[in-house]
A = this chain, B = another copy of it.
Amino acid sequence: MSSIRQALLSLLAREPLSGYDIKQRMNNRLGPFWKVGSNQVYPELARMEEEGLVALQGIEQHDYRPARKLYEITEAGREAVIRWTTEPGGADQYRDDFLLKAYNSWLVDPERMIEGIREMKKQHEEKLAAYEAKVAELTSQLAGRSVADPLFSSISVVEFGVRYERLYVEWCEELIAKLSRREPE
């Protein structure tokens, strides 16, 4: 059930990682695609170690730095991810504050609203550019890979991101067009 547990296991199924690594992948690599705090990562790793889903592979100690605890997934852990991945589940509900703001646009001065939409559009354009770059980067690494390589899965996910951001930007443009048609300066 807990989605964070699944997220951690999904990353560890690919390579051994430390708690810090995991946090970085989630918060930076795929942009704000999935954010977590250290409070969620470290205790969850400890719990999963107790349950035998992950195991401490070793501790790296670089002179002055704090110890780096590398975790690897166990066979039980791998089975758990596979079970979760194949088990049927309902579609998640979509939720976005800005849609609620759009729902209130009738209450607000159109010019003001347009400003806000433009700002939101800009943010999604930036994400779009980042995802597009990521797809290009990953695709260039594709040469000579087996068809069962994790890279194929990664690309599909980032491609979703590209489409999503594209949709968002287009929708913003239409909203702006509708509102300006109504209120010609």
Contacts and interface: CB of A to CB of B under 8 A. Distances in A.
Interface of A: 3, 6-7, 10, 13, 32-35, 78, 81-82, 84-86, 88-109, 112-113, 116, 119-120, 123-124, 127, 147-150, 152-154, 156-157, 159-161, 163-164, 167, 170-171, 174-175, 178, 182
A182 B95 CA distance: 34
Given A86-B116, A108-B85, A167-B164, A92 B96 contact: yes
Dominant secondary structure at the A interface: helix
20 contacts: A7-B100, A10-B104, A13-B107, A33-B95, A34-B93, A81-B107, A86-B116, A89-B101, A89-B120, A92-B96, A94-B96, A99-B160, A105-B152, A105-B153, A106-B148, A106-B152, A147-B182, A156-B175, A159-B174, A163-B170
Given A89-B97, A91-B123, A92-B98, 14 more contacts: A32-B93, A33-B95, A34-B93, A78-B107, A82-B108, A84-B101, A85-B116, A86-B108, A102-B156, A106-B149, A106-B152, A152-B178, A163-B167, A163-B171
- Chain multiplicity (copies): 2
A144 to B, nearest CB: 16
